[in-house]
A and B are shown apart, each in its own frame.
Chain A
Amino acid sequence: MTVPHLEARGISKHFGSLKALDDVSLEVAPGTFHALLGENGAGKSTIVKCLMGFYHADAGEIYIDGALTPIASPQEARHLGLGMVFQHFTLIPAMTVAENLVLARPGLPLVIDWKAETKQLEAFLDRAPFRVDLRARVDTLSAGQKQKIEILKELYLRTRLLILDEPTSVLTRDEADEVLGYIRGLVNEGKLSVLLITHKFREVMAYCDQVTLLRRGRFAGAGKTADLDPSRMAEMMMGEARVQNESMRPKAAPGPSVLRIEDLHARGDNGLEALHGVNLTVRAGEIVGIAGVSGNGQRELVEVIAGQRGADSGRIGVKGEDHRPTRAMLRKHQFYTLPEEPLKNAAVARMSVAENMAFGVFDEPPFQRWGFLLDRAAITQLGRDLIARFSVRPPLPDAPIGELSGGNVQRAILARELSNGQVRVLVAANPCFGLDFKAVDSIHELLVETRNQGAAVLLVSEDLDELLMLADRIVVMTGGAIVLETTPEDADPAAIGRHMAGHH
């Protein structure tokens, strides 16, 4: 099968009253590495799902090699040589690599001849650049290995136009370069065209030939990457130039140590030890960033700190005193947490924004009278004040918090945690995950402001660039332990990447 020439003209798609795509065109010529850029909600996923036959466009046409070709189902897309690697893994965790690859193969007979299938797979893998163990169970593999298997799966299925939906979001920089470099090689050999959905300008500049930009469901520009630079692309994506905030550095030197974690051991969901003796100190007026690929114990660490997971041993102290996540202690130590996915971990989705914002204070006056009676008017007023102070949209204190967008949930919960004004410790985990640039900037400003007011801030992030920008010290967490400590000034991205990947 040859590499198809794909052309989408004037695609529109709406969901209810929301216009997700409005007259968007896109062309991927054979043998090109094409980037699709846009902020969250710009319609990137919607258009590729139209191309893959998951959605049916309301208007517009798809041409393959110049011929009008409606794509009604994912099966038809596959038939045309189109394949997609999703943001979320589509491997079955409890199965082996071989079972996953075989299961994806079309025309699999009812009774599987494992000898023949294994032989075929081994022959295929001999030509692949990655080593994978066919007998390994997928849930024992790292995110990077899974991503490689997803891509191998597409190649095994003879995909000629590969759509990648943010494939590197779970990879270290080295792993991303390995995967994208391999795909670039296949494109150069003329075996493949690629449509890459990404947020990362670095990847666009390093690997892509062409770029199409979307903004709020509309076409915002296209061109050769050689003719563009990141600031020009950011401008097209955002409609305004994105300013890098240089005032993020602290004015004062950090104070005495506030948060101290000593030899912390805890088990993960699978019952195996996920934290192998974590030691960490955060001083007043300092942001300490924890870098690492997800799944290396960061989530468990934050859960232990937040009291959502029990520790097996070790100690968490604030200003020399033992800290336990009881309401009394949290108040005493002015200890606040913004866990990842706050809608799931720090909010009750069906309760109102105001109620969620009052979780820290509802049991004290003036929100509670005579020790048992809630003053709903006071709670709503608190919600109204915090919504105004932290610009939560829409400004409705009585709306269920689950109806807010990701960025606004994030801001609402951060508002609750920072509302007291006096913060001694703030722990934030991936606070900007999945947010658009504007929301990211506002969260960053709040974190920096909190630090500047003298709080000890522990920031866990999978985004190294974010840590390099915000943190005063960076530690790398791999395999449940801190393996490297550095500062943004001395940071060597290659060394950090090596430690994140566990090669140190």
Chain B
Amino acid sequence: MQTQPEGLGAWGIAVALAGGAMRGSIPYMFVSLGECLTEKSGKINLGMEGVLLMGAMTAFAVSDITGSPWLGVMAAAAVGMLLGALHAWLTQQPAVNDVAAGIAMIVFGSGLAFFFGKRFVAPMAPQLPLLDFGGWSRVPAIQSALRISPLFFVGIAAAFLLHWIFTRTSWGLKVRAAGDDTQAARALGINVNAVRFIAITIGGGLAAAGGAHLTLYFPGIWSEGISGGQGLMAVALVIFAKWSPRRCLAAALLFGGAQALGPSLQSLGVNGYYHLFNASPYLLTLGVMIATCTPHRRLAGMPGALGKK
């Protein structure tokens, strides 16, 4: 799969990075959009790491058993919705804290995924078909970079759809109202708990669908370390994106690109500091956290009732 982009020179790294960004951004995209919807309704779901892993495992298992990768994606979304619903139900109990419940959901989701995924560790499941946009070029590097997973486009569509829902539908306005001022929303006759329940459930489904990309794309295997904390980083990414679905898209591409830095440099023959470059998404997350946290002001765009009952 990795081709030496010789003859492309400096363009080689750009092409490899662009391709890597489009591949690597997909889990970030789905999880951050799911988290964006969840947080817009005023709840935090830190358990997205567990949801992502369950999604990855479920997609793999269903694809392996049924032979249909798309069925795998849908099954992953369904399982994610179940986990989302569980988180919603948990966090709406009187004395339950969002963050504590979210950490429990990380452990629960990943434990469940490891348990059910044990028998799927060895085989390779049918993968999602890729869309080939590089046919016009004879350069293998460009061809490989433009072999794009259909989930990439589903993610982009989901971001624009979410933006449309938030601004143009009454349900979207209700989600934002519930997330920004619970008391005001209640006074408007909005059933805050019901709105949040649906938002968190759909958010879980979105995140889990992103997990499908981890196992149904090259190399197409399931392993326990497959997410590498991407579910948690995507939650941080929502802050970076100021709770805007379209900015989530851009931020996901940035994180995906950072993730591709190590492999693309390696493909160019730069093997030194490989692990350091691989750490770039984590460094980026840390950087984002430091840059956005200030004692002087509330974060711009942050839903006013985030984490409140």
Contact = CB atoms under 8 A, between A and B. Distances in A.
Interface size class of A (residues with CB under 8 A): 20 to 34
A93 B170 contact: no
Contacts of B297: 267-272
A112 B176 CA distance: 15
A95 interface: yes
Interface stretch (A100-108, A168-176, A229-237, A389-397): A100-108
B187 A110 contact: no
Interface residues of B, number: 24
Interface in B159-184: 168-171, 173-174, 176-177, 180-181, 183-184
B139 to A, nearest CB: 45
A109 B171 CA distance: 9
Given A104-B188, A110-B169, A112-B170, A88 B183 contact: yes
A91 interface: yes
A162 B201 CA distance: 39
B140 interface: no
Contacts of A108: 170
Contacts of A93: 180-181, 304
Contacts of A272: 297
Given A267-B297, A269-B298, A90 B187 contact: yes
Nearest to B295: A310
B284 interface: no
B185 interface: yes
A110 B297 CA distance: 35
Contact residues of A: prevailing secondary structure: loop
Contacts of A271: 294, 296-297
B177 A110 contact: no
B256 interface: no
A103 B183 contact: no
Given A94-B303, A271-B294, A86 B169 contact: no
A111 interface: yes
A95 B170 contact: no
Nearest to A108: B170
B189 interface: yes
A90 B185 CA distance: 7
Contact of B169 (A91, A111, A269): A111
Given A109-B170, A112-B169, A74 B184 contact: no
A50 B260 CA distance: 62
A94 B173 contact: no
Tell me which of B168, B180, B296, B301 has the highest count of chain A C-beta atoms within 10 A of its own C-beta.
B296
B104 to A, nearest CB: 26
Nearest to A75: B189
